[in-house]
Structure 1
């Protein structure tokens, strides 16, 4: 079965997610921003979601993790929880 390793930052608004994405593009540290801004409990771990299998997360995030390019910052991605910035490290 497929699996992946990813991290994310969950934010309340698309505008806030877009601002953080710009900061990440400017070289700021993903884990530090996740710890400071993420609304998800994973923020305490720098946004680390651990090893994920298809279907474990909400569909919009699952699709990013298993279909989009590795190591890029994807998003803002909307889910019922808010807006996510997602980075996928590997998948197999």
Structure 2
């Protein structure tokens, strides 16, 4: 079964997600931003979700994790929980 090592940041609105993405792209530490802003419990761990198996996350996020490029920052991606920034560290088959 396919799986991936992923970290993410979840916020309530797209504007904040875009601002945080710019900060990370400018060099601010992903984990620091996650701890300060993410509304997901994973925020306390710097956004680390650990190993995710295909089908484990909500539809739009699951699709992104298993189709978008590895080692890049993606988002904002909308789900029923809010707006996500995703970093797919790597995937395994």
TM-score (norm 2): 0.97
Distance 2:56 2:91 in 1: 14
Other structure's SS at 2:7 match: strand
CA RMSD of aligned residues (A): 0.4
Q: How many residues align?
A: 92
Can you give the 5+ residue segments of structure 1 that lack an aligned partner in the other structure? none
Distance 1:71 1:28 in 2: 16
Instruction: Please name the residue that 2:83 is paired with.
Output: 83
Can you give the 5+ residue segments of structure 2 that lack an aligned partner in the other structure? none
What are the within-5 Å matches in structure 2 for residues 12-91 of structure 1?
12-91=12-91
Q: In the TM superposition, what is the alpha-carbon distance from 1:46 to its structure 2 partner?
A: 0.3
Q: In the TM superposition, what is the alpha-carbon distance from 1:64 to its structure 2 partner?
A: 1.0
Distance 1:75 1:81 in 2: 14
Segments of 4+ moved more than 6 angstroms? none
Distance 1:85 1:51 in 2: 17
TM-score (norm 1): 0.98
